[in-house]
Structure 1
Amino acid sequence: MTASPTPQTSAAAGSDWLRLDRQICFSLHAASRAFNGVYRVILKDLGLTYPQYLVMLVLWEHGDLPVKKLGEHLRLDSGTLSPLVKRLEVAGLVRRERSARDERSVQVRLTEEGGALRERALEVPRRIAAATGFDLAEIGELRERLDRLTLALDAAASAEAAEAADVR
């Protein structure tokens, strides 16, 4: 087995590191866009977009949640999440209610229709798994690796931010 070249190997080899097809971020981006294309077709029957589906998954799993907690689960800020929740409310799938204990907090609750949609959504993961061409073990392994990648990147971003703050 040969060792992978480091980015500092040579100027000519170094330029290879700037090729689009060598970028893991682009591979992830392309896979994400491909997933979105498949989800768009599959979720059309449910009347959901992919981001709305993610919101519904969290609510089906955890029940009523404050918008802040919902955003934490989805890694979305309230500026991105609020329009999604509003559209789900217009569709009759969720209800937003101000917390009686804290006026600043908005609770998101499934409606009866939103809860019932879960049954129809049970087919989505099977169809997505089939679309990948991977078996369940491969899907599990890939998900685990992506979770590890996410943790590593979160840690790196925190370290970079702390270092940048120290430089100032």
Structure 2
Amino acid sequence: MQAHYNVLFLCTGNSARSIMAEATLNFKGRPTFTAYSAGSHPSGAVRPQALKQLEAAHMPTNALRSKSWDEFAKPGAPKLDFVFTVCDNAAQEVCPVWPGQPMTAHWGVADPAAVSGSQKDIERAFRDAFTTLDRRISLFLCLPLSSIDKLKIQTELDKIGRQ
């Protein structure tokens, strides 16, 4: 495989999980990776609790925004190498045809935005989601993408999604 990879993280609302994944991979994976995020039904706003998790990890948040996955299916969109769904709803939806015939995997993470309860419960849910995404992205970054075949990469991507 090549020396630079474009990665798209998908979620229904593109307000928390996919946003945290985008920021994390851009922070940890530059210059080899460029990450994006999008939603099938974007909420139009990034959850403040997601931004709080990223800021606590000293990751930039100023360019993050909730957007539709349609932006990545248009002419002129970046050629995608990998597309990861991070919510079960997005994994079940019919996705657009992505430029570049990317490899895909489902890395489901519980929706922290769906948690109700105390502020402490909500903060814990966002922290847990961030920790799970951070761990999976770290494992992804350890894959020797340029030296293993696509079948092995797919196997490893699926395995990461179960961790």
Q: What is the TM-score when the length of structure 2 is the normalising length?
A: 0.28
Higher relative contact order (CA 8 A, sep 6+): 2
Structure with the bigger percentage of strand:
2
Q: Which has the larger radius of gyration?
A: 1
Q: What is the TM-score when the length of structure 1 is the normalising length?
A: 0.27
Structure with the bigger percentage of helix:
1
